[in-house]
Every structure is written in C-alpha cells, then in structure tokens.
Chains A and B, each alone.
Chain A
Amino acid sequence: MALFSFEGVTVQGEDRPRLDAIDLELPEGGVTAIVGPSGSGKSTLLRCANRLQAPDDGIVRYRGRDLAQIDVLAHRREVGMVFQRPVAFPGTVAENLRVADPDLDDAAAGALLERVALDAALLGRQASELSGGEAQRMGLARSLATSPRVVLADEPTASLDEDAAHQLEQLLRRLADDGVDVLLVSHSPEQVQRLADRVVALREGRLEHGPQPVAAAEARP
C-alpha cells in the first residue's frame, strides 16, 4: 500500500492551479524528493500531505485512508513537518520541545536534542538565541517528539549555510535509515542526488514523470 496517494488532486491558486489534477503514489521507505522550479507546487503537495492545506478537488490518502475522513490532529502527530524557515516558539529549547509533548522529561528532551546532533546543555537556552542551523535542528527534534512515522521537510536547508545544510541532510538520511519515511522538498539537484532514493518532479502544478516517482539515479539532470 502506498504511503501517500494523490487522486486527481487540484489546489487552486490566484491565477492558475498550484496543483493541477495530480495522480501520484508515493511508496514507503527512504527519502522521496519533490523537485521543481519555484511555483511548481512542491510545498503545496507537502502541505496537502499534512493537511495544512486541503485540496479543492481530489483525494489525498495516507496508507489508504482519506485524510478528509480521519482525525487530522492524530495524523499530524504521525506525520511531522519541518518548515523552510526555522520556527522558534517563545521560551527555552525545552519548552519548545514540550509544545509537541508536554510530558517530555529532561532526559528524554536531552536525548531528542542529541538525536539531531545538538548538545543537551542547550535545553535551558532561549530558543530565540539559537543560530539558524541550530533552530532548524531544534525544529526537527520538536517534530520527532511526537514519534512520527513520516517527516515532511519543506526545503529545510534553504535558509542555512553550507555546513548547517550538510548536517541537516545527514540527519534526514539517518532518520530514513532508521525507518522514518522522509518526504523532502528541494530545489537543489545536488542535494537530491546526495540524499534522495526517488524523485517526484513537478512543473506548473503537474507531474513531469507520471504517477510514480522515478529512481534518483534516473532523475540525474
């Protein structure tokens, strides 16, 4: 069964559809990259998978279940999301992690930070004082606090310097190797080659390769 399937999914934009009758099946496992130029509908596709966006037409299914019919809050805890710009909530790093899991004790919070290559000593630091790369990794740790089976990453390295971007890529790869499915929106062909197992290419809201992703090696530009 597909991890996500999009059946005739259309999302209207201001002047043209952001997604135009997409039929797509994304299999489980590894890293699936969603690529395409700006405005091609990559982020919209990802937001539909988390139901931050609802399609104007069509059905999005997660493991066969229509997202419009299931408990969306439970779904979002199972399908975490990392955004393009790091979002630090007011308060300390520990308080940020406890937004996702209020019962998280210090040991578990420290372990989450270490999982994303951050020092557990940062728990008491104000989240607003973190660097961009640290804040993005904290955002990933916050998403992992709900023990998701899938992580959606919307150009998570776009606002990071090269070192921080590489570090985040390694973390995403490690997550995928540990059995967490990763859907990665990226505009960098190099990043896709380094990280992705398969690729979905979008252009102007339509798929370039048909309803199945292609292997990353085949998608080499």
Chain B
Amino acid sequence: MNGHVGWGGLAIAVVVVLVAAGLSRAWRLGLERDLVVAIVRSLAQMLLVAVALGLVVADGVSIWWSWLWVVAMVGFASITMRRRAPALPGLLRIALIATGTTAAVGIAITFGIGIFPVQPRTLVPVAGMLVGNSMSAGVVACRRLSHAIGERRDEIEARLALGQPWPHAARPMLREILRTAISPQIESTKALGIVFLPGAMTGLILAGVDPLDAVLVQLALMYVILGGVVTMTTVTTVAAARRLFTRDHRLLPVPRQAD
C-alpha cells in the first residue's frame, strides 16, 4: 500500500457500484438512482472534506477550527435525524443535546485516557466516528419510532387504558426499536478481529506500532463508540417518545410518517 489511488483507481472502484446498479436494474429493485446519488454526493462531500480538512489540520492552524468542525458535525447529524423523522415533535433540540453530549463525553474519554493526543489531526476523525455512528443508529431509531407510534397506537392506548403510565405503555415498543437500531453496532463490536479489522488498528500497525498497543487503542475507541451510540440512541428515542405523551398519560395524535 502506497496511499495513492488516483482518479483511475477511483474510477475502477466506481465500476463495482455500477455493476451493483446494473443488477438492481435487471431485478427492477429501484436502487439505481439511490446508488448514483450516493456516489455523486459522497464524491462531492469527500472532495470538499479533503480540502477543508487539509486546511484545518495544516501546521500552525488553531485547534479551535477543529472544534468548530465538531460542532458543525453535531448540528448536521441532529438536522439529519430531524429530517428523517419530521413527525416527532421537538426532535431537533433533543438530538442536538444528545449528540452534543455524546460527542463531548466521548471526546473527553478518548483524549482523557490518552488513546490519542489532542490534535486537529485526531480530533476531527474521532468526533466523526462518534457522531457518525450515533447518527446512523439515531436515524434508524427515530424513523422506527415515527412508524411504530402509528402502527401500534391501539396497543399503546390499550395499555394506557389499563392504568399503565406512559413509560410502561411504550416500553415494549421502545425495546424493539432500540434493539433494532443498536444491534448493528453491537454485532460489529462482537465481530471485531474475526470478521473485520478496523481501520485505526490497521493504520497503526502499518505505521509500525506494536500490534498489542494498536489493539488496545482500537478496543478503547470501539468501546467509547459503542457506549456513545447506545446512550445517545436510547436517550434520544426515550426523550422523543416522551414528547408524544401528555403529562396525564395521553398519546397525542402523530401524523403518519411517509416511507
């Protein structure tokens, strides 16, 4: 590995996605448009990120620019969650608080225990892993909550009618939602070292770090991410669900979420 792909190499990688798009077309799965949008968007975003990251991590640039980047990531992740589940009231505020707290605590632990030194070069990627993984799980949870509250309205109201307080009435639904949203992160942590070798560890080993040290760094990072994802997703989902009920345990009407 020499770290240089070039436009030709990138084009070959894109061909793999085009093959997948061809398969989708042949089977009429309707994924072609999403695949093309994903390629174009990721290309534009990553090129922009490369330029911006180059500016932020350059020698002599204040670390405050990196912190500003982290704040922007938190804002973007929260807006994404809000956009994907617009029927949930107050979700933007909830997501901002939960994602911001997760990022702050995760960053404090990651740098506090000395996994990496606090530098622009480490701060932005670490925050990206924390916020990105949390956002993915958060989006799944909020979308499912938005659907489930309509589909399971009868069940929830039947539980409320028996005198259950709203947290009890909503708990079976919330449990299923959180299991679905969080299980990919749990599964990828379980498969660590067997199915895939994560990037940070591979990079450190290739850079000449002792494999045991590299493994410890990776594990600490994964645990911080796992804890962050579970906490953030749980807090966001429960807080969003809370807003669907009144103080006297009535379920408010919620507009149907479009697919």
Contacts of A53 in B (CB 8 A): 250
B250 touches A87 (CB 8 A): no
Query: Which residue of B159, B246, B250 is within 8 Å of A89 (Cβ)?
Result: B159
What are the interface flags for A56-74 relative to B under an 8 Å C-beta threshold, 1 for contact and 0 otherwise?
A: 0000000000001000111
**Which residue in chain B gives the minimum CB-CB distance to A145?**
B162
A87 touches B163 (CB 8 A): no
A18: interface (CB < 8 Å): no
A81 touches B164 (CB 8 A): no
Given contacts A51-B250, A54-B248, A89-B172, A77 and B162 within 8 Å (CB-CB): yes
What are the interface flags for B165-178 relative to A under an 8 Å C-beta threshold, 1 for contact and 0 otherwise?
A: 10000001000000
Contacts of B154 in A (CB 8 A): 83, 85, 87
A142: interface (CB < 8 Å): yes
A146: interface (CB < 8 Å): yes
A99: interface (CB < 8 Å): yes
Q: A68 CA to B247 CA in the complex, in Å?
A: 11
A50 touches B248 (CB 8 A): no
Chain B residues bordering chain A, tally (CB within 8 A)? 17
Residues of chain A having any CB pair with chain B under 8 Å: 50-54, 68, 72-74, 76-77, 80-81, 83, 85, 87, 89-90, 99-100, 139, 142-143, 145-146
Q: A53 CA to B154 CA in the complex, in Å?
A: 14
Contacts of B151 in A (CB 8 A): none
Contacts of B159 in A (CB 8 A): 89, 99
B162 touches A99 (CB 8 A): yes
A83 touches B157 (CB 8 A): yes
8 pairs, CB–CB < 8 Å, chain A vs chain B? A50-B161, A52-B157, A52-B161, A52-B250, A68-B248, A76-B162, A77-B163, A83-B157
Compute the total of residue contacts between A and B using a CB distance below 8 Å. 55
Query: Which residue of B160, B163, B249 is within 8 Å of A146 (Cβ)?
Result: B163
Given contacts A54-B246, A72-B248, A72-B249, A87 and B160 within 8 Å (CB-CB): no
Q: How far in angstroms is the closest Cβ of chain B from A139? A: 7
A54 touches B250 (CB 8 A): yes
- Chain B contacts with A in 82-107, Cβ cutoff 8 A: none
Given contacts A51-B250, A54-B248, A72-B249, A100 and B162 within 8 Å (CB-CB): yes
